[in-house]
């Protein structure tokens, strides 16, 4: 999946690239009510703009993500996107 790193916080204030601590990706197979979580963070999180979720079985998945800052404050999650894995 690809994304554009945010430049604004949920309250509308500026989010500088160096303030991005990382991302949380939530995903689930369409028939599963439980979300799986992947947390991505490192000293260069602000330059990340893609991630590949590996080892998914065939099916339709919902994926959503949030950004968190270096103080651990999370954004709201994006709207889920449906993706087919063949």
Q: Look at residue 1 and tell me whether its pLDDT is greater than 90.
A: no
Q: Does the structural domain 17-85 have CATH classification 2.160.10.10?
A: no
| DSSP one-letter code for 7 | S
pLDDT value, residue 76? 93
Q: Which segments within the chain are labelled E, that is strand?
A: 20-29, 36-41, 59-69, 81-85
Which one, of 75, 71, 63, 65, lies nearest residue 7 by Cα? 75
List pLDDT tens digits, range 37-66: 999 987 776 678 889 999 899 999 999 999
Cβ contact 22:42 at 8 Å: yes
Domain residue limits, the chain: 17-85
Question: Under a CB-based contact definition with an 8 Å cutoff, are residues 77 and 37 in contact?
Answer: no
Query: pLDDT tens across 29-38, in order?
Result: 988 999 999 9
Summarised one tens digit per residue, pLDDT across range 16-30 is 999 999 999 999 998
Average pLDDT over residues 61-85: 95
**What is the Cα–Cα distance from 30 to 16, expressed in whole angstroms?**
35
């Amino acid at each position: 999946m690809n994304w554009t790193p945010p430049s604004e916080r949920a309250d509308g204030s500026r989010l500088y690239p160096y303030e991005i601590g990382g991302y949380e990706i939530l995903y689930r197979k369409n028939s599963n009510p439980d979300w799986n979580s992947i947390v991505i963070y490192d000293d260069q999180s602000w330059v990340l703009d893609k991630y590949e979720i590996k080892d998914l079985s065939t099916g339709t998945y919902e994926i959503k993500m949030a950004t968190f800052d270096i103080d651990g404050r999370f954004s709201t999650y994006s709207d889920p996107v449906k993706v087919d894995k063949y």
